[in-house]
A and B are shown apart, each in its own frame.
Chain A
Amino acid sequence: MPVSERHSKLVYDALVAAGVEVVSALPETWLVHLIRLAEDDPGMILVRLAKEEEGVGVSAGAHLAGRRSAMLMQNHGLLQSVNGIVSLAQLYKIPLLMLVSDRGHLGEPDPWQTQGGKTTRPILDALGIVTDELHDPATVQLQVARASTLAEASLSPVALLLTRDLMWEALA
């Protein structure tokens, strides 16, 4: 599978280093390794969702109960979650660390991902969500740590886009 196992591990290790103890997820191709890592980690509470918006509720509950969490979702999962982000996370000042696979952006070969790809950044922007892009494996840990710190300090959602540069490994 050309999704990078090595870089997925980097992202996962960065989440653990940032103190994340609860991960909610709904699978998609780019997230497969990340979710397996969460699944195999006895120290991680993994919540597999039926729909991504539930993850906002799970993260809100975890935060109020004193546990740091992260959400793993496709950008279409972000679209599914918008009401929860606005009317729970933002209304109630709940930190969310959202790792969003950046499908439909430059290099996307799947036609069905392209419409969502066009909306991802404008929607994050419209929601006022601070967003960063993970491209370079060398900076993943620092970016995840900083995103987590900002989410907790601002009690707000922060999004990290998992880009093709990072998640896709060219076949040798």
Chain B
Amino acid sequence: MERIECLEAIYDELRDCAVVTIMGAVAVELYSLGHRPNFFYLEHAMGLASSMGLGIALSQPDRRVVVLDGDGSVLMNLGGLTTLARYAPPNLTHIVFDNQSLLSVGGFPTATATGSDLAGIARAAGIAKAGTFTDLEAFRSAAVAAIRGDELACLVAKVEPVGPKSFHMDLHMLENRFEFQRYLRPVPDAPGDRSGGPPDPPDPQGAAP
């Protein structure tokens, strides 16, 4: 199956989730299906999309969070799987598109091409609900169940090493970042408001104009 088919299959399900993607094909293909303010495309920092998802999920336990990751990125932060497992936020779903290659930088094979099993690694890290999917319908139903469910899940979708023709996105990283922040903080930052926005900066010297 192809990554874009998987994304199409779960696109509607992502409507009310905070979605963090990795850079490259995952970002561009999700964007091509229609950008939404709840989509954040991490255009660098390979490996940290899942850590960001963890930070969001722990900070807002009532919000469903979906991380759209890739084999190359996960391999850069395998330790992060143990951190996800340790805190196991029930509102987090970790989807890994495994095309067994670093597609956007020459297509060189990753270690999953020679047998490294990311779902197996996730399970061994302590994420009980981890599985590999090669069939689109099986992936779709598992992803929907995981997103709606109340248990940390790691779904590895085996996809063809094909991607978009262009990696251009007409959305500046910072525009995306602030839009996403506004989505996550619907309550305007009010003085003394500890529930919606961030706390007031402390000012031991007294307020300055």
Tell me the A residues contacting B by CB distance below 8 Å.
Answer: 17-19, 21-22, 45, 47-51, 53-69, 83-84, 87-88, 91-93, 141-142, 145, 148-149, 152-153
Known pairs A19-B199, A84-B45; A64 contacts B204 (CB<8 A): no
Q: How large is the interface on B (under 10, 10 to 19, 20 to 34, 35 or more residues)?
A: 35 or more
Q: Is B88 an interface residue (CB 8 A)?
A: no
Could you jot down 30 A-B contacts, CB within 8 Å?
Answer: A18-B202, A19-B198, A19-B202, A21-B59, A21-B199, A45-B58, A49-B79, A50-B83, A51-B77, A53-B77, A54-B83, A55-B51, A57-B49, A57-B51, A58-B52, A58-B58, A61-B51, A61-B55, A61-B56, A63-B181, A64-B185, A65-B18, A65-B185, A66-B184, A66-B197, A88-B44, A142-B204, A148-B201, A149-B201, A149-B203
Known interface pairs A21-B199, A54-B77, A67-B198; 20 further A-B residue pairs with C-beta atoms within 8 A, sorted by A's residue number: A18-B202, A47-B55, A47-B58, A48-B83, A49-B79, A57-B51, A58-B52, A60-B48, A61-B53, A61-B55, A62-B55, A66-B59, A66-B184, A67-B59, A68-B199, A84-B48, A87-B45, A88-B48, A92-B174, A152-B198
Hey, which chain A residues are within 8 Å of B48, CB to CB?
Answer: 53-54, 56-57, 60, 84, 88
Q: Is B196 an interface residue (CB 8 A)?
A: yes
Q: Is B50 an interface residue (CB 8 A)?
A: yes
Q: Are A58 and B54 in contact (CB under 8 A)?
A: yes
- The smallest beta-carbon distance between B49 and chain A, in angstroms, is 7
Q: Are A92 and B199 in contact (CB under 8 A)?
A: no
Render B76-89 as a binary contact track against A, CB cut-off 8 A, 1 for contact.
Answer: 01011011001100
Q: Are B49 and A22 in contact (CB under 8 A)?
A: no
Q: Are A22 and B202 in contact (CB under 8 A)?
A: no
- Using a CB-CB cutoff of 8 Å, which residues 182-205 of chain B contact chain A? 184-185, 189, 194, 196-204
